[in-house]
Amino acid sequence: MDWNRLADALIQDDNVKALEEYEKQYPERALEKGAQVTRLAPSPTGFMHIGNLYVALANERIAHQSGGVFYLRIEDTDEKRKVEGAVEVIHKSLKYFGVKFDEGADLCGEYGPYYQRQRAEIYHAYAKELIRQGLAYPCFCTEEDLEKTREYQTENKLLPGYYGEFAKCRNLTEEEIYANLAAGKKYVIRLRSQGDVNVKHTFRDEVKGEITVTENNQDVVILKSDGIPTYHFAHAIDDHFMRTTLVIRGEEWLSSLPIHIELFKVLGFRLPKYGHNCSIQKIGGETRRKLSKRKDPEASLNYYREQGYHPEAVRTYMMTLLNSNFEEWLLKNPDTPLDEFKYSIGKMGKSGALFDIVKLNDISKTYMSKLSETEMYDFLKTWVDEFGNDTQKAYFADKEYLCKVLVLCMGVGSKKRRKDFICAKQAVEMIAYFFDNSFAPVYEYRFDKATVNSVLQGFAAIYDEADDNSAWFDKVKKVAGDNGFATDMKEYKANPDAFPGNVSDVAEMLRIATTGLSNTPDLWTIMQILGKERTLARLSAAMINL
């Protein structure tokens, strides 16, 4: 067989250069010893899974901690899955969580283009080379042919795929090949695998440790019929020429590792280090399962932006999933920037990472409680500008007023900060009662109408905005006493049946009337913030609505 002639007949691309040219164009990177070059290589599907952030953070930390490079490569070889604007989504969502690339798609970089579709000539050059060496061949099998093989293999419980006796085009003669070409038959290019599935090797996975890998024997497709490479082929060539030293990716790729090992070998490239990290799981009923794009809204990175989780809180939470010693470090260094944590690939979980929204919420609450009122104002404003409605946008017109609300709701200045806020959406909803346009109370009192009416009326008659907290409380007590409620807790506890309730029940009625809620921060301060007119108007409205 004249392999050179075959290579020229099968791949016609005038741009193809001599292989040494590519080695010259993309030289080894001049980096310090130990510096790692890592990448994130998503397909532009428009959907960013929380797993993408998980992998991105691991790769970013390792690259930057070692003085290396972290880049973004867009794996857009699958036209069907491609979505307009997807690269922007990738950049935007990762940037929000503080993941920064040094180079890559839509950024500058010497190792580009970083979109696989723009790198066709390199893939063609190497596919040609493999054909010349007899390590790749054209396959004219149709979908129906492949389907028949699949059926036969299933019926006979054989390993699926294109290999051995099932690799029908592997040994076509020169005449047969040219006859097929002359007949205009479509073809793909397949690897002529040299592997043997009976041979196993020990492989050091950077995350999982020593694993056993079976040799590949599949004649996988390397170029599709339109000349576009498959993921396997493209990633091997790109990781070589972008000089990737370490690939951290999801464990769903572990089963493809044998193919990748063989491809690097036949291409004559040094295999980078690989680490396959575990998938993010959740408890669904009795079982643990992978976070699913279809079933779980929290699987999408967008979810966290839409809910207004603070990016630092999400990052902190992700670090607890990524490194087993992170929480201990966080306890000792609660106020140290996250990037000072020494991330270690060896401390990544070997089995599934369990996603726990309750824990994320706890971390978020703690993070949010540490912000100043103006930081919180800015954070909430940014969220509302993008996701809020017009009524919520109006909250931000009077910064002084809103900051007073935030000081109270966060407990700024008090000994212990309140931890009421989890995320922007919930925080903005939580403060709605401070704004008349969104104040929509559902009054739920635990006492009868006549009692509530008497309490509200009694208090409205003596309320004075100038009262300090203790004078104000004396008035609440007075109203309590006037209505037969206990004002002395000891007395009440000794004989609870003698009273309809105590002073805190009276305060609760006032709270519900003023805010629509039975649980709020300090009521005296709320009334101070609302001001006399609004407080009295709310008490009257509550009486009318009894």
Catalytic center residues: 293
Comparing CB distances to ligand GLU, the nearer of 247 and 410 is 247
Stretch that binds ligand GLU, among 36-44, 315-323, 340-348, 496-504 (CB under 6 A): 36-44
User: What's the closest the beta carbon of residue 230 comes to ligand GLU, in angstroms?
Assistant: 11
Residue 182 β-bridge partners: none
Distance CA 486, CA 492 (A): 6
| Element containing residue 210 per DSSP (H, E) | strand 209-214
HEC readout, 16-77: CCCHHHHHHHCCCCCCCCCCCEEEECCCCCCCCEHHHHHHHHHHHHHHHHCCCEEEECECCC
Does the footprint of ligand GLU cover residue 43 (CB under 6 A)? yes
Distance CA 495, CA 264 (A): 84
Comparing CB distances to ligand GLU, the nearer of 219 and 238 is 238
Site for ligand GLU in 250-289 (CB under 6 A): 253
Distance CA 432, CA 154 (A): 61
Distance CA 148, CA 362 (A): 55
Does the footprint of ligand GLU cover residue 36 (CB under 6 A)? no
Distance CA 388, CA 410 (A): 21
Stretch that binds ligand GLU, among 38-46, 158-166, 195-203, 320-328 (CB under 6 A): 38-46
User: What's the closest the beta carbon of residue 360 comes to ligand GLU, in angstroms?
Assistant: 23
Tell me, residue by residue from 181 to 220, as one string, x for binding to ligand GLU by CB under 6 A and - for no binding: ----------------------------------------
Stretch that binds ligand GLU, among 8-16, 245-253, 364-372, 480-488 (CB under 6 A): 245-253
Comparing CB distances to ligand GLU, the nearer of 124 and 235 is 235
Does the footprint of ligand GLU cover residue 396 (CB under 6 A)? no
User: What's the closest the beta carbon of residue 41 comes to ligand GLU, in angstroms?
Assistant: 4
User: What's the closest the beta carbon of residue 210 comes to ligand GLU, in angstroms?
Assistant: 21
Comparing CB distances to ligand GLU, the nearer of 90 and 507 is 90
Comparing CB distances to ligand GLU, the nearer of 233 and 379 is 233
Does the footprint of ligand GLU cover residue 42 (CB under 6 A)? yes
Stretch that binds ligand GLU, among 39-47, 91-99, 492-500, 520-528 (CB under 6 A): 39-47
**Within 13 A of 377's CA, how many CA atoms are on the CB side?**
18
> Strand 136-139 to strand 103-104: parallel, antiparallel, or no bridges (unpaired)?
unpaired
**Within 13 A of 79's CA, how many CA atoms are on the CB side?**
6
Instruction: Single out the residue of 315, 285, 316 nearest to residue 100, CA to CA.
Output: 315
Any idea which residue has 């140290």 for tokens? 336
H-only helix segments in 285-422: 301-307, 311-322, 326-332, 357-369, 373-387, 390-394, 399-410
Extract the runs of DSSP E, i.e. beta strands, from 34-187.
Answer: 37-40, 69-72, 103-104, 136-139
Residue from the set 6, 41, 58, 423 that interacts with ligand GLU by CB under 6 A? 41
Residue from the set 249, 310, 425, 538 that interacts with ligand GLU by CB under 6 A? 249
The site for ligand GLU, by CB under 6 A, has a size of 9
Helix (H, G, I), strand (E, B) or coil at 247: strand
Distances (CA, A) of 87 to 42, 72, 90, 279, 510: 9, 10, 5, 23, 53
User: What's the closest the beta carbon of residue 108 comes to ligand GLU, in angstroms?
Assistant: 22
User: What's the closest the beta carbon of residue 43 comes to ligand GLU, in angstroms?
Assistant: 4
- φ and ψ of 163, to 5 deg: -155, 165
Cβ(87)–Cβ(42) under 8 Å?
no
Comparing CB distances to ligand GLU, the nearer of 203 and 231 is 231
Stretch that binds ligand GLU, among 247-255, 372-380, 399-407, 414-422 (CB under 6 A): 247-255
Residue from the set 70, 71, 75, 167 that interacts with ligand GLU by CB under 6 A? 75
Does the footprint of ligand GLU cover residue 51 (CB under 6 A)? no
Residues sharing a CB contact under 8 Å with residue 530, sequence separation 6 or more, in sequence order: 434, 514, 538
Tell me, residue by residue from 217 to 236, as one string, x for binding to ligand GLU by CB under 6 A and - for no binding: --------------x---x-
Comparing CB distances to ligand GLU, the nearer of 224 and 399 is 224
Comparing CB distances to ligand GLU, the nearer of 259 and 314 is 259
Residues at the site binding ligand GLU, with contacts judged by CB under 6 A: 41-43, 75, 231, 235, 247, 249, 253
